[in-house]
Amino acid sequence: MAPSVQVQQVDTSADSITESVKKIALGVGRTGDGTSNFKGGFADSSVDKLPEPTRKRFEKYGIDISRGYPERPPTEEIPVFIDDATAIRNTPWEFIDRGSKADPEKKALLGAAKEVKHLTKHIGTEIVGLQLSELTDQQRDELALLIAERVVVFFRDQDLSPQKQFELGEYFGKVEVHPQQVHVPGIRGITVIWPELFKKFGPITFRKTLNHFTSRWHTDLVHELQPPGITHLHNDTIPEVGGDTVWASGYAAYDKLSPALQEFLDGKKAVYFSANKYVDRENPLKGTVHIEREHPIIRTHPVTGWKSLYVNRAMTSRIVGLEPGESKVILEYLFDVFEKNLDIQVRFNWKPSQPGLGTSALWDNRISQHFAVLDYEGQEPRHGTRVSSLAEVPFYDAESKSQREALGLSLD
Ligand SMILES: [Fe+2]
């Protein structure tokens, strides 16, 4: 008698295939310690490693960490496919920059400060003696203008609740909610910046700091239709020594170029891509791909009206209209302008003057790049909360001027 053969029914419906691909895709983010990078909610909680100053801040302001820390969006809301991820925030909305309403002299803000310190000639100002949580709307408008002019503004010794940080971000624009990244429990618009978590992607050692995505020159979220303007990182736990961040000015980078190169780049576009990767629904076996978006390579700031060079080594792939080889050579030069000219950079140490308080940096992401210095090698805790306020669709105005041109400074 012939043996009986059990035929298993295979479900080949489109829904079933989509589910199978999703399961494969969710394994794509597997990390060094075998955990998945794509689990939502409170999976992979690191609450036991939470630094003491952060824990105290959260306790004081009623952030519930009883279910774990940090939190991710629910697994079912984390996009797997590139078309789903691209569709997020893909419709333009009107943005009005708060800086456009400000008193050009900024008397309410600067007059109330104990001290206003310009840290370098071209970029970076520290305000002493003001609490961000107590600023009036007039002072907030003036702060937006100051950030637009100075690129990055610092406030030490801040007692700032996550809720107030979020509210300030909403004042400046539409708060970005990342579909995948970790956030403060209960507040999806506050991204957690905590190198302790980066260790899942590999050890942070003296030789390997560049393996970590914040420790390279970049501009945040350039793949967005309306990328962030004012971006606010509040560090509540800061290493005893080191852990600095460096910013570079896009206005000054533009002014470093020859008039001939400026003219060549004015009005051109480049392709920018996302830090995170997703699965191509039409070709799932191709592996994961980035979201891509075109923006002007020289953009005009809507408040200052100054031109800024908008490229970064981490997330700019090519200049539209050029051959790949041409694009590569020119982009390499433009990246170098930001990275090698120390006179257009500011390096900031976050340490507060009073223990137990935090330090805030608010930078204009439209006109800058930044780089986190991981010199503490993951040995000391560093923890921050970041709120990114989305701004306008990037544009180039042919009538706009460079910063030096507008300020009447020498162009030679
Ligand atoms: Fe960043």
**pLDDT per position as a tens digit, 314-365:** 999 999 999 999 999 999 999 999 999 999 999 999 999 998 999 999 999 9
Which single residue is written with the structure tokens 């400026």? Answer: 262
CA of 283 to the centre of ligand 1 (A): 30
Q: Quick check: is 35 in a domain?
A: no
| Res. 30 pLDDT band, cuts 50 70 90 | very low
Helices 162-172 and 137-150: crossing angle, nearest 10°? 70
Task: Give 394's pLDDT tier (boundaries 50, 70, 90).
Answer: very high
Q: How far is the CA of 219 from the centre of ligand 1 (A)?
A: 6
Chain mean position to CA 316: 14
Q: 133 in the Ramachandran plot: left (φ > 0), alpha (ψ -120 to 50) or beta?
A: alpha
Answer whether residue 70 is part of any domain: yes
- Distance CA(187)–CA(178), nearest Å, equals 11
Q: Is the pLDDT of residue 2 over 50?
A: no
Confidence at residue 17, expressed as pLDDT on a 0 to 100 scale: 60
Note the pLDDT tens digit of each residue in 113-131: 999 999 999 999 999 999 9
User: pTM above 0.75?
Assistant: yes
The average pLDDT across 281-289 equals 85
C-alpha 357/C-alpha 185 separation (Å) is: 21
pLDDT in the model for residue 1:
45
Lowest-confidence range among 68-72, 78-82, 263-267? 78-82
Is the pLDDT reported for residue 21 higher than 80? no
What is the CATH classification number for the domain harbouring 146? 3.60.130.10
* Ligand 1 center from residue 136 Cα (angstroms): 28
Q: Please give the pLDDT value at position 56.
A: 97
Mean pLDDT of 93-120: 98
> pLDDT at position 35, please?
38
CA distance 360 to 238: 11
- Residue 24, in any domain of the structure: no
Report yes or no on 340 lying in a domain. yes
Instruction: Classify residue 307: in a domain, yes or no.
Output: yes
Ion ligand 1, residues whose Cβ is below 5 A away:
220
Q: What percent of the chain is predicted at pLDDT more than 90?
A: 76
Residue with tokens 């107030």: 164
Domain count, the chain: 1
The answer to whether residue 26 sits within a structural domain is: no
Q: For the segment 148-167, what is each residue's pLDDT rounded down to a tens digit?
A: 999 999 999 999 999 999 99
How far away, in angstroms, is 220 Cα from ligand 1 center?
Answer: 5
Position 278 in a domain: yes
Distance 151 CA to ligand 1 centre (A): 14
In this structure, is the dihedral angle defined by the CA atoms of residues 206, 211, 216 and 220, taken in order, positive or negative?
A: negative
- The confidence score (pLDDT) of residue 160 equals 98
| Distance of alpha carbon 209 from alpha carbon 191, whole angstroms | 21
Ligand 1 geometric centre to CA of 285 (Å): 30
- Res. 191: pLDDT tops 80: yes
Residue numbers of the domain that contains 196? 48-407
- 96 CA to middle of ligand 1, Å? 23
Query: Could you read off the pLDDT of 197-236 as tens digits, one per residue?
Result: 877 777 778 887 776 777 899 999 999 999 999 999 999 9
pLDDT tier for residue 20 given thresholds of 50, 70 and 90: low
In a domain, 39, yes or no: no
Per-residue three-class SS string for 180-204: CCCEECCEEEEEEECHHHHHHHCCC
Arithmetic mean of pLDDT, 52-67: 97
Residue among 29, 11, 14 nearest 282 (CA): 14
